[in-house]
Structure 1
Amino acid sequence: MAADLPALIALLDDDTLSRGREDPSLPLAASYRAAFAAIERDPNQRLIVAEANGEIVGTMQLSFLPGIAFRGAWRGQIEAVRIATPLRGSGLGTQMIEWAVERCRERGCRMVQLMSMRERTDAHRFYERLGWSKSHYGFKRKLEQEG
């Protein structure tokens, strides 16, 4: 829900590797509201929020991607996984990832994928404990916006 957006942005910013990439100051930038509206309209996008005692303590985005490869297989893609600092190591991340995998099964996805920054070695061990394997190299290219 849109009212959760400030808490989600703050949670994304509460990370040593990505601190400063997000701007949780209020009022939020219009780009956050526009992205939220686009996700909300798209049936292949889900913005997941975990709550405990009325507080947002986790988030991730789950996308369902159609593809021609692998005989027309759908894929699930998990992105922007964050757990509130005090709850890291509590099992919440495991619950969220397994929940997302089940949603992918329900949607008929043949695989689930995610990317993790090279420096996130703790996250890599976490995903490997859950049965994920390092199978590909990822590449990104940032696009500069004009104006």
Structure 2
Amino acid sequence: MEVIIREIEVNDYPEVVTLWINVLGNRKVNLDNFSVTLERMNKDGNYKTFVALFENKVVGFITTVQALSFGDEIGYLHIQGLAVQIELQNKGIGTKLLKYVEDYSKGKGISTIILCSGFKRTDAHAFYEHNGYDKDSYCFDKGL
């Protein structure tokens, strides 16, 4: 299966939004707020979103932010979202997206990647562990 990974382009937005809703279950995401937010992220310069293409169609994505951290000059990379089309899961696409981001991070001198995953997403947890990620903390949030 030949998968190409590249940085997101405007014409990819609808497919990425569909993946965000269908795979990650985030119904708050829509094309309008996605476009506005991604434009702001691009201006910031610390955010990157990459898409996986199979047969010229977006079948997956990963979005990241480079965050600063005390005690680490370069900081770390935080994966904010990763999704692969349900019908194409378990075919190595998610792993290719992770490896791409890992290589990107190494190229920037970043040595740590973190991510959060919901308690109920046990398949995702197994996927991350299979790819060498350790389950070493809880993420907490509070709606205001």
TM-score, scaled to structure 1: 0.85
CA deviation after TM superposition for structure 1 residue 42, in Å: 2.4
CA deviation after TM superposition for structure 1 residue 137, in Å: 1.2
CA deviation after TM superposition for structure 1 residue 73, in Å: 4.5
Tell me what 1:65 maps to: 67
- For residues 29-53 of structure 1, the C-alpha deviation after alignment (integer angstroms, 9 at most, x for no partner) is 3x22210111222221101111111
Query: How many residues are aligned here?
Result: 136
Q: 2:25 aligns with which of 18, 31, 36?
A: 18
Higher strand share: 2
Tell me what 1:131 maps to: 132
Aligned-partner Cα distance in 2 for 1:8–1:99 = 18
Are 2:8 and 1:6 equivalent residues in the alignment?
Answer: no
Identify the structure with bigger relative contact order (alpha carbons < 8 Å, sequence gap 6+). Answer: 2
Distance 1:44 1:19, change over 3 A: closer
CA deviation after TM superposition for structure 1 residue 140, in Å: 0.8
CA deviation after TM superposition for structure 1 residue 105, in Å: 1.1
Tell me what 2:87 maps to: 86
**Unpaired segments of 5 or more residues in structure 1?**
none
Tell me what 1:36 maps to: 38
User: Which stretches of structure 1, 4 residues or longer, exceed 4 Å deviation after superposition?
Assistant: none
Aligned-partner Cα distance in 1 for 2:28–2:78 = 21
Larger gyration radius, structure 1 or structure 2: 1
Aligned-partner Cα distance in 2 for 1:87–1:45 = 26
- Percent identical among aligned pairs is 24
**Unpaired segments of 5 or more residues in structure 2?**
1-8
